[in-house]
C-alpha cells in the first residue's frame, strides 16, 4: 500500500573516527524513503533548494521513490554538520541551517493524499500537523520527533501525538519527554499520551515495542564495522514502515517482523557514510540478514 | 550435576532512590547460590567472620545450598556499602572492607572437588586460580571479574582466563579489558583470550552470548519496579550456571535457554533489597516469567 513520508532531504557533513564526508546526501526523508523502498513504494513530501543536484534526487527516484512531492524552492537546501566521538556514544551538531526548509509551507500533492501509511519525520510539530491535516483517511500514521521539539515545542508535540497511531523515538527522547528513567515505565507513559503503539529505539541495544498491552524487545543486528550512525534511526523507521505498508497490516506479530527488517536496514546504513552502503545492498542481502537474525534470536 | 561457587558471603549497606538497607545479607556467592538453587544443588566456597549471624547462613541452607565449605574465621565479615544514583545508571562504592576475606586461603572441601560445574566469582585472580587448581576435572568453569582486577591485576586475570571455559562480565568491563567500544568486536577479542564462551551482561539491555562461532542477544525481562540492582549480575550468573548444571549440557542452544533463566532470576532480585524478593519466589513464578519471555521474544 502507498506510503507517504514527510521529512528533510538535505546535505550532511559528517566527521567520525572512521573519516569525513562533505555535503553528502542526507536528511530524514532521504534515509527513510531509501530504506522503505526495499519493501514498498514511497512518496516523499519535502523541499530542496536550487543548489541540490539532480543526481542526488535521482538516487531516490532510481529506487522507485516518488519525488514529485519534493518541491524545489529558491535558496539553499537544509544543511547539517555533525561530529561523533570515538565510540559513537555522543553526537555533536556543529552546524544546522534550515534554509529553504525553515519557511516551507508543505503542500501534499493531490494524488498522494490518499496514502494509507504516513510517516511524519522529525520536524516542527506544526509542520507535522499541517501535513497530517491534508491526508484523507490514513490507516496508520507514525510520528518521529527529537529532543529539540520535546523541549521547545512540547505542547505542540503533545497535540499532534493525540492524532497518530505510532510514536517512534529513542531512549534519550523517551526519558526526556516522560521524565521516567525506567524505559518500561517510559513506554507506558508514552502510550498514555495518545498513540496506541510506541517504538523505542536504543541504538546498539535494539528496540522496544509497546502496543495492545503487549511488549516486545528486539536486539540490534550485530555490526562490527560502524563507520557513521547518521540516518540509522530514520532507516530503521523506513524499514519498519515499508514492511507494514507492504503487508497492509499493523497487528502486533506483523509489527515485530517489521522491526526485524528495520534493524537489518539500519545495520547496513551504519557501515558507511550517507547512502553509500545501502546503494550496494540487494534484496537478497536483506533477506540473508533477516534469516540470520531469525536463527540467532530463536530460542 | 553438582555446582561449586567461589565468592563472597557478606554484609551490604545500600542506598537507592527507593530506600536504604543496613547490613543485609549480600556478596557474590550469596546472590549466585540462592539464584542457582532454583535449578541445581550448589556448594559454596567462602569465608565469613564471627559476626555473621547463623540466621543469614540458614537462608542459604534452607534453599538446599551446601554451606559446609563456608569457613568461619576470627574477625569481621566482608562488608560493602554502596549508593546508586536516581536512575540506577551509576553505582558508587562508599566503603569496602575485605576483613576476613582479605587474608583467606581457600580450601575446597574434599567432597566438593569433583563438582563438574564451577563458578569462580569476582575476586583476586590468584584466589580464583587457587580454587580452580583444587578441582579435579571440572567439565565447565565460568569466571566473573570486575574493573578493579582488570586494571590492577591484568596479568593474573589473563592467566586464569586461559584455564576457564566461559567468561561472564558486563559491557563496561568488556570495553575496559579489550579497549574495543563496539561490543561485538569486544566479544570476539575476549574469545581470543582463551575462553570458548563469552557472556556479556548489559543490565537493562540484556545480555550477549558469543560461542562456537555463533552469536545470541537476549533482552532483559522488562521490570518496572527496580528497587535495588545489587546482586543482579551474580543472580543472573547463578540462574545460568544452575540451569546448565541441571541440564548437564553446555551446547549453544542450552546456554541460550540458560540465559533466559538468568534474566528471569535477575528480574526478581532487583525488585527489592538483598534476597527479600527472591525469598518470596516459587518455582512456578519463575516458570511463569520464562513462559512470558518466550512468548514475548517469539517472532
Q: What is the ipTM of this complex?
A: 0.87
Q: Is 90 exceeded by the pLDDT of residue B200?
A: yes
For B219, nearest residue in chain A (alpha carbons) = A217
3-class secondary structure, B221: coil
Is A68 part of the contact surface with chain B (CB cutoff 8 Å)? no
pLDDT the model gives residue B101: 96
Condensed to tens digits (0 to 9), the pLDDT of residues A144-193 reads 999 999 999 999 999 999 999 999 999 999 999 999 999 999 999 999 99
Condensed to tens digits (0 to 9), the pLDDT of residues B274-294 reads 999 999 999 999 999 999 999
pLDDT the model gives residue A296: 87
Express the helix, strand and coil content of chain A in percent, nearest 5 each.
Answer: 40, 25, 35
d(Cα B30, Cα B44) in Å, to the nearest integer?
Answer: 8
Give how far Cα A255 sits from Cα of A166, A279, B289, Å: 11, 25, 23
Q: Which helix (H) or strand (E) holds A197?
A: strand A197-201
Q: Is 90 exceeded by the pLDDT of residue A72?
A: yes
Angle at B120 between CA B114 and CA B121, to 5 degrees: 140
Condensed to tens digits (0 to 9), the pLDDT of residues B91-133 reads 999 999 999 999 999 999 999 999 999 999 999 999 999 999 9
Residue A225 is part of a domain; what is its CATH number?
3.40.1190.20
For A179, nearest residue in chain B (alpha carbons) = B87
Is A204 part of the contact surface with chain B (CB cutoff 8 Å)? yes
pLDDT the model gives residue A141: 98
What burial class does residue A269 get, using C-beta atoms within 10 Å of its C-beta: 0-12 exposed, 13-18 middle, 19+ buried? buried
Contact A256 B299 (CB under 8 A): yes
A205-212 LR contacts (CB < 8 Å, sep 24+): A205/B202, A205/B205, A205/B206, A206/A263, A206/B205, A206/B217, A206/B219, A207/A236, A207/A259, A207/A262, A207/A263, A208/A183, A208/A184, A208/B219, A208/B222, A209/A252, A209/A255, A209/A256, A209/A259, A211/A166, A211/A252, A211/A255, A212/A252
Residues of chain B positioned with their CB less than 8 A from the CB of A294: 299
State mean pLDDT over B79-92.
Answer: 94
Of B206, B215, B222, the CB nearest to A222: B215
Contact B219 A217 (CB under 8 A): yes
pLDDT the model gives residue B177: 98
Q: Which of A58, A54, A100 shows the shortest CA–CA distance to A78?
A: A100
Mean pLDDT of chain A: 96
Condensed to tens digits (0 to 9), the pLDDT of residues B145-161 reads 999 999 999 999 999 99
Of A202, A220, A297, the CB nearest to B299: A297
Condensed to tens digits (0 to 9), the pLDDT of residues A126-157 reads 999 999 999 999 999 999 999 999 999 999 99
Query: For residue B142, what pLDDT band results from cuts at 50, 70 and 90?
Result: very high
Is B18 part of the contact surface with chain A (CB cutoff 8 Å)? no
Contact B298 A294 (CB under 8 A): no
Contact B215 A296 (CB under 8 A): yes
Q: Is 90 exceeded by the pLDDT of residue B61?
A: yes
Domain count, chain B: 1
Condensed to tens digits (0 to 9), the pLDDT of residues A230-272 reads 999 999 999 999 999 999 999 999 999 999 999 999 999 999 9
pLDDT the model gives residue A298: 82
For B180, nearest residue in chain A (alpha carbons) = A87
Percentage of residues in chain A having pLDDT higher than 90: 97
Is A214 part of the contact surface with chain B (CB cutoff 8 Å)? yes
Express the helix, strand and coil content of chain B in percent, nearest 5 each.
Answer: 40, 25, 35
Q: Which range marks the domain in which residue B258 is found? A: 3-297
Percentage of residues in chain B having pLDDT higher than 70: 100
Is A98 part of the contact surface with chain B (CB cutoff 8 Å)? no
8 Å CB contact between A238 and A286 = no
Condensed to tens digits (0 to 9), the pLDDT of residues B14-41 reads 999 999 999 999 999 999 999 999 999 9
Q: What is the pTM of this model?
A: 0.92
pLDDT the model gives residue A297: 86
Q: Is 90 exceeded by the pLDDT of residue B297?
A: no
Contact A296 B217 (CB under 8 A): yes
8 Å CB contact between A204 and B219 = no
Q: Is 90 exceeded by the pLDDT of residue A276?
A: yes
Q: Is 90 exceeded by the pLDDT of residue B169?
A: yes
Cβ pairs A/B, distance under 8 A: 81
Residues of chain A positioned with their CB less than 8 A from the CB of B175: 87
Cβ burial B78-96 (10 Å sphere, 16+ → b, else e)? bbbbbebeeebeeeeeeee
Amino acid at each position: 500500500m502507498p506510503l507517504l513520508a514527510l521529512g528533510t532531504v538535505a546535505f550532511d557533513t559528517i566527521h567520525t573516527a572512521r573519516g569525513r564526508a562533505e555535503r553528502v546526501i542526507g536528511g530524514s526523508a532521504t534515509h527513510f524513503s531509501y530504506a522503505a523502498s526495499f519493501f514498498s513504494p514511497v512518496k516523499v513530501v519535502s523541499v530542496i533548494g536550487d543548489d541540490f543536484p539532480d543526481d542526488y534526487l535521482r538516487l531516490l527516484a532510481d529506487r522507485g521513490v516518488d519525488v514529485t512531492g519534493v518541491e524545489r524552492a529558491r535558496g539553499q537546501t537544509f544543511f547539517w554538520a555533525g561530529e561523533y566521538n570515538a565510540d559513537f556514544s555522543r553526537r555533536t551538531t556543529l552546524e544546522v541551517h534550515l534554509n529553504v526548509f525553515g519557511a516551507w509551507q508543505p503542500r501534499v500533492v493531490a494524488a498522494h493524499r490518499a496514502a494509507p501509511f504516513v510517516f511524519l519525520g522529525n520536524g516542527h510539530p506544526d509542520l507535522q500537523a499541517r501535513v497530517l491535516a491534508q491526508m484523507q483517511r490514513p490507516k496508520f500514521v507514525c510520528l518521529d520527533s527529537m529532543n529539540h521539539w520535546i523541549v521547545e515545542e512540547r505542547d505542540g508535540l503533545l497535540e499532534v501525538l493525540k492524532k497518530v497511531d505510532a510514536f517512534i523515538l529513542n531512549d534519550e527522547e523517551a526519558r526526556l519527554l516522560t521524565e521516567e528513567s525506567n524505559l518500561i515505565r517510559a513506554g507506558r507513559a508514552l502510550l498514555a499520551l495518545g498513540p496506541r503503539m510506541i517504538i523505542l529505539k536504543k541504538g546498539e541495544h535494539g528496540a522496544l515495542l509497546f502496543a495492545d498491552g503487549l511488549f516486545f524487545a528486539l536486539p540490534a543486528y550485530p555490526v562490527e564495522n560502524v563507520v557513521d550512525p547518521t540516518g540509522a534511526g530514520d532507516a530503521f523507521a523506513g524499514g519498519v514502515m515499508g514492511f507494514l505498508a507492504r503487508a497492509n497490516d499493523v497487528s502486533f506479530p506483523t509489527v515485530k517482523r517489521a522491526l526485524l527488517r528495520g534493524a537489518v536496514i539500519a545495520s547496513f546504513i551504519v557501515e558507511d557514510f550517507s547512502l553509500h552502503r545501502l546503494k550496494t545492498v540487494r534484496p537478497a542481502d536483506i533477506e540473508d540478514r533477516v534469516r540470520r537474525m531469525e536463527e540467532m534470536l530463536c530460542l
